[in-house]
Amino acid sequence: MKSTLALMITAALIGPAHAQLASPNDAGVAMGHVHLNVTDVEVQKKFWTEQFGAVPLKKPGLQGVKIPGMLILFRQQAPTGGSEGTMMDHFGLKVPSTAEALKRARAAGIKVQSEFKGTEGFPNAYLIGPDDVKIELQEDTSLTAPAIAYHLHFMNAAGDQIKLMNWYAQTFGAVVKKRGQHDAADIPGMNLTFGVTRNPPTIGTKGRSVDHIGFEVKNLEAFCKKLEANGVKLDAAYRKLPSAGIALAFLTDPFGTYIELTEGLDQF
């Protein structure tokens, strides 16, 4: 109870400015959100607010929470399976203390899958949240927020991770780098990590608990036209949703991760 109260107080103190999305890169792209298919919205909301100090969204018609760097949106729809085993296996957060986060999770009956030293040399762990959403935690003792967005972790066969990394660099202006031993690329607000496994998944994300990832894009209509001119196929064309105050489009990356492009989520 005390640790939960402390998280809620800290979340209030960090204020709305720290919960905003990052400024876009030269391509006009920044991290936006992850969108979950959930069996119970209130269970998910409780998990994110109590475990990570997330702030519930107050926008009518938009269910979810926000942490510094991204929104976590909910769709009331039973997922076809968890995130583990899909092309985008999990997403990661940084926390001030991995030990404290795990203590809090265990007290709430949340599954701790494993604890280990991460690729960057810090205490890491995997949690399995409601609807089998897999989350990686990495310790960063300099943090003043309960949690911040950190990385999306894709899984590929050797060689394919480079192809996918280069696709994100060319398509969204991601800056290629290393995250520890992993090939990676950064967009504002998020690291994209491209892991290698001997048994690469063949399942896309659509329909699973992490249904899709989302990038916030400046001048989205022009961006979509540029994508199509470059041969990128959109699954759903650019359109505006005046009632929500946003515009959006959808596509799928070359290995099956479903992606939403939005313009306007940065106001929430």
- Output the DSSP codes for 20-83: SPPPP-TTSEEEEEEEEEES-HHHHHHHHHHHH--EE---TT--EEEETTEEEEEEES--SS-S
- Structural domain boundaries in the chain: 2-267
Checking if the pLDDT of 7 tops 50, the result is: no
CATH 1.10.10.10 assigned to 2-267: no
pLDDT at 22: 95
Checking if the pLDDT of 13 tops 50, the result is: no
pLDDT at 60: 79
CA distance 59 to 22: 20
Q: First and final CA of the chain: distance in angstroms?
A: 28
Task: Please report, rounded to a whole number, the percentage of residues in the chain having pLDDT higher than 90.
Answer: 88
pLDDT at 14: 37
- Could you read off the pLDDT of 64-90 as tens digits, one per residue? 999 999 999 999 999 999 999 999 999
pLDDT at 59: 80
pLDDT at 243: 83
Q: Give the mean pLDDT of 140-169.
A: 97
| Cβ atoms of 104 and 92 closer than 8 Å | no
| Nearest alpha-carbon partner for 144 in 97, 100, 96, 98 | 96
